[in-house]
Amino acid sequence: MSVKLIYVTAPSLEDAERIAEAVVTEKLAACANFFDGVQSIFEWEGKLCREQEAVLLLKTTNDRVAELTGRIQELHAYNCPCIVALPVDGGNPDFLSWVESAIKPKA
């Protein structure tokens, strides 16, 4: 298995925490970090938007990315949430092993 970092934006810190608590409890993610007060600018439906959002970083394994993405979409307030999986090419081997052991095995 390989570890992935999942980058998610949410409309508020409370929403990010709610999503994180669900996916960590369900063992789809090993852990989560939050960043509040992130400023975002994007075009949506032909309009330039500026929003204050929260960022959620989740650690999971490659074989759980699809299920985790689907679960985040179910829990998310946005119609088209930013959910991006990034490869982890290295790091603390003990931490990476812990992430793998904390994730529910794929059924």
Q: What is the mean pLDDT of each run of 10 residues along the chain (107 residues)?
A: 94 98 98 96 96 98 97 97 97 96 81
Question: Does 7 fall in a domain?
Answer: yes
Q: What's the pLDDT at 107? A: 66
Q: How many domains does the chain have?
A: 1
Domain with residue 28: its CATH number is: 3.30.70.120
Query: Other CB atoms closer than 10 Å to residue 45's CB: what's the count?
Result: 5
pTM for the model stands at 0.93
User: Is position 107 within any domain?
Assistant: no
CA 84 to chain centre: 8
What is residue 105's predicted lDDT score, i.e. its pLDDT? 75
Q: How far from 51 is each of 40, 61, 63, CA to CA, in Å?
A: 5, 30, 32
Distances (CA, A) of 86 to 4, 27, 31, 43, 70: 6, 19, 15, 23, 16
In a domain, 19, yes or no: yes
